[in-house]
Structure formats: C-alpha cells, structure tokens
Amino acid sequence: MNLEILFVLLALVGMVGALIWDRMRPGMVLLSVSVLFLCVGIISPKEMLEGFSNKGMITVGLLFLVSEGIRQSGALGQLIKKLLPQKETTVFKAQLRMLPPIAFISAFLNNTPVVVIFAPIIKRWAEAVKLPATKFLIPLSYMTVLGGLCTLIGTSTNLVVHGMILDAGYEGFSMFELGKVGVVITLVGMVYLFIVSSKLLPSTSSNESDDESSENETSNLHRVEAVLGPRFPGINKTLGEFNFTRHYGAIVKEVVRGGIRYTQNLDKVRLYEGDTLILWADDTFIPTWGESSVFLMLANGKDVQEKVSEKKRWLALGLLIFMIVGATIGELPLFKEMFPELQLDMFFFACITTVIMAWTRIFPPKKYTKYISWDILITIACAFAIAKAMENSGMADMVATVIIGMTDQLGPFALLAVIYFITNLITELITNNAAAALSFPIALSVATQLGVDPKPFFVVVCIAASAAFSTPIGYQTHLIVQGVGGYKFTDFVKVGLPLNLIVFLISVFLIPYIWEF
C-alpha cells in the first residue's frame, strides 16, 4: 500500500465518520474531501470539476423542477384522494389500492414530493375510516423507494451511476433497463408489505395526544405538525438557544423524535433533521411557510385547497408523459438514425419539459432555484471527483484485488454479493449518492480484473445504494413518515431488515441471468 492509497483511505474513513456525525451537510463534507484530494495532487482541477458538468447530475437538477411542477399542479393530491376507499375497509384492501399506483408514480417522480403530498392525506383518511395510519406510512415510503428502482429517472442514484458508466466509456442504462430486475423486486416487496403490515407495524402512533382539548379553542390557534428539514436554521441547537416563536410566530408544544414525545423542559431539547414539532399556530402559518425549504412537511389536519386550473393540471401531466415517452423512443436505433446530430436522451427531454413548465408558470419561474436541492447536486458532483481519486490513487484496484482474493473460489456471484453488501451497508449509514460513488470504482475494478462484463456490477450498485429500509436515516422519506407516523427506530428495523434481505437475494440471483458476465 503506497502513501496515496493510504491517504485516500484515511480521507474516506474521515468522510464516512463526518457524514455519520451529521454536523455538516453531505455536500459540504464531500466537497471538503474533494478539495483535500485536489490540494495533494491526487486529482486535477479538471477532474474535480467534471462532476459539476456531468449530464447525469444536471438531469437530476432538472427533474427536481419537473417534480415540483407536478406537485404544484395538484395532480398528485387529487389522485391519492380518488385511490383511497371512502367506506369501511381493511388494511389489506386499502393497501391493494394504494401501493401499486404509488410505486408507478415514484418510478418517474422524485420520492420526496410524493411522500410530502401523500403522507398527511393518508393520515387524515386513516383517521376518518378508523384505521391506524401507522399501517400505511412506512409502506408509503418503502414503495416510493422500490418504485424508483424501475427506471433510469426513478432515483438520483440511478442517474449518478449512469453518468459514471458513461464517463468510464461504457454504454449507459436505457430508460426501462433497470426495470428488468426492479419490477420483480417491487412486486415481491409489495407482496411482503401486504403480508407483514398488519403484524409488524404498530397500531398506535406516539404522536397521538390525549390533551387535544387543552388547546385554546377560543383563540385562532390550532395544531400543526412540522417536520424539520436540513436547512432549518435551528438544527443542532436547543429550543432555548433558538427562539422558534420569534422566528416563525408559532409555539412549540411537543417535539417528537424516534417515537418519543418530549413535552417537558422543551428549552433543553436539541433539534435535529427529521424531528417533528407539534405547534400551536394560526391560519397564516402554513400559507407563509408552506413553500419554505426549512420544513420537509407541514400539516394541520385540513385539506389544502388546490388553486390550479384543470387545464394547467393536464398540461403538467402531458409534459411528464412527453418527457418519459420522448426519452424512451429517443433511444431506439430508428430515431438515432433519423436524428444523428441530436442525442434524444433523458437530459434532452428534461430540458425541454423544464423550460415549458417555467414559461407556462406550472411552477413559479422566479423561484425556481428554491425547488432544487443544491446539497444533493453538490454531493453528486463531488462524488465523481472522489471516485476519480479512488481510481487515480490505485485504491479501487487494491480493494478489488482484496475482494477477489477473499471470494476466489466462489466466482462472480459471490463478488456481486460482496459489492451489494458493502454498498448497502454504506447507504444505510450515509447518503445513497455517496455510497454509489464509493462503490462504483471498486465494482468497475473488480469486473476489469476478472475480465467480465461490468454491467451486472453496475446494476448491483444502483439497487444496493437505493434499497435502504432498515433505518429511518437511510432515506429522507423515511424521516418524514417517522415524524408523521410517530414510529420508533425499531419499527423500521422489524419491517425493513427482512425487506433488505429479500432485495439482496433477488438482486444477487437474478441480475447475472439478465445481464450475463
């Protein structure tokens, strides 16, 4: 092991530690490590900046705006209300109507707005039909993740790996290529949730309060649930240090975290991303802060009145269909021959769709920057630089040699399993895009040293980096439903760990038969 490999290894260990410590946003952590590699000459300025001009990264940014356009059109809210049965029903029958459409929608839209819109509606509906909302909210989050495995645009991780594949000189994924294994995983995962939801998920929520009548009904204050996002300015501060009432004009009544309700000595409670605050607020709170990025979700138990015209709603859906169909047929050989000077891929059609949505004001064009998660984009861009550092230093080759040596007698199937396990473990601890960045160069080196087609290893990295079900920190949508549903950490472990194992087994045994070595 030379000094460069040792330096990169120590830097990556420090990076993982910083991400777990969570005192700084992932984008800044990865940027710091990238600058460190730049300063010691492991990567050049050009290599550090390549990720910022990567087509996959920019496509992710455009898809944030497309998802926001669909969200603001009101189409998703109308859809879920029509799907939910309005009469007495069972958990199984309700899930049978809900989960397949949720998986389909999340295959084409960013997971977070889907969960943000659906979670409070599902919670209100469950209360109305006298079913526990806790039987539906974790399945909601899990199905958005599973649905995202089915298409190139289903999750940012797929686009990140796709971009790395192109940079490595290989042919990337087509629009529905990952669906060959993703659809199977989604269907099996859905059946699993049908079976275990009634048995393993709790029947009560820690958010259920017995003292609702204590609220001052003579005033204009009412109960609001606010899930804190990463941009909330009071993160890692106590309520005593951060005056919530002065900043937002609402009174904090409770803090809910990991299924535990904090109601006493609130000034000493430290705030973290994903915490749910139970507030007393007036009718202006949600209209004022509903579009703010400091809260992942706001809900007051009432339906938000949609103010978007039917014409604009149908236009938004039409543009989404145009983007998906266009990117799909643009990959066909016939269209490549007809338009040799144009690359009719997802980036091309996402650009067109975003611009049309802006000019038709499906989302407010003057506020477009606030709808993009810049931290995710910086994380993705820096992930390319870190992957290049692993490659330049020889660390990726060294790790690949060690892995091959450990599984030499077991063949490529065992190597797939090891790559999956490493990627999945990292993604449960840190962000999924960083996990893909760390695993991709190792997967490529393993395939190169074995002299086999690397495509199966690329697919495994995509699946393993997204399939995070065992902890609420594995995915942002898990944090949202944990706050809304009042789940404990162990609820995710009980339901998510077997699902992780199911996805692992399907991936390792099915992928080599679809994409041969």
pLDDT tens digits along 58-91: 999 999 999 889 888 888 888 888 888 877 788 8
Residues 465 and 423: beta-carbon distance below 8 Å? yes
> Does residue 128 lie within any of the structural domains?
no
56 lies in some domain = no
Domain count, the chain: 1
Q: CB count, 10 Å around CB of 241?
A: 12
Residue type, 32: S
pLDDT for the residue numbered 265: 87
| Rounded Cα gap, residues 240 and 236, in angstroms | 12
pTM for the model:
0.86
List per-residue pLDDT tens for the chain, 517 residues long: 688 889 999 999 998 888 877 778 888 999 999 999 999 999 999 999 988 988 888 999 999 999 889 888 888 888 888 888 877 788 899 999 999 999 999 999 888 888 888 888 898 888 888 889 999 999 999 999 999 999 999 888 999 899 889 888 888 888 899 999 999 999 999 999 999 988 888 887 555 554 444 444 446 788 888 988 888 888 888 998 988 988 888 999 999 887 788 888 889 999 988 888 999 998 888 888 877 778 888 887 665 555 667 888 889 999 999 999 998 888 878 777 777 777 888 899 999 999 999 999 998 898 888 888 888 899 889 988 998 999 899 888 888 888 888 776 667 788 899 999 999 988 887 778 888 888 999 999 988 888 888 999 999 999 999 998 988 877 888 888 888 888 888 899 999 999 999 999 999 999 999 998 7
Instruction: Describe the crossing of helices 179-200 and 455-466 by its angle, rounded to 10 degrees.
Output: 30
How does pLDDT run across 174-228, given as a tens digit for each residue?
889 999 999 999 999 999 999 998 888 888 755 555 444 444 444 678 888 898 8
Question: What range does the domain containing 233 cover?
Answer: 212-299
Measured distance CA(365)–CA(340) in Å, rounded: 32
Contact 226, 277 (CB under 8 A): yes
Assigned domain for 231 exists:
yes
Residue 274, in any domain of the structure: yes
**Residue 278 placed within a domain:** yes
The full DSSP string for 163-196 is: HHHHHTTS----TTTTHHHHHHHHHHHHHHHHHH
Query: What angle in degrees, to the nearest 10, is found between the helix axes of 75-83 and 91-106?
Result: 150
> What CATH number does residue 280 fall under?
3.30.70.1450
pLDDT of residue 211: 47
**Residue 4 placed within a domain:** no
Chain centroid, CA 339 distance in Å: 34
**Chain centre to alpha carbon of residue 356:** 25
Q: Provide the edge-to-edge strand list for the sheet that holds 222-228.
A: 260-262, 251-257, 276-281, 222-228, 295-299
- The answer as to whether 228 is a domain residue is yes
> Does 375 fall in a domain?
no
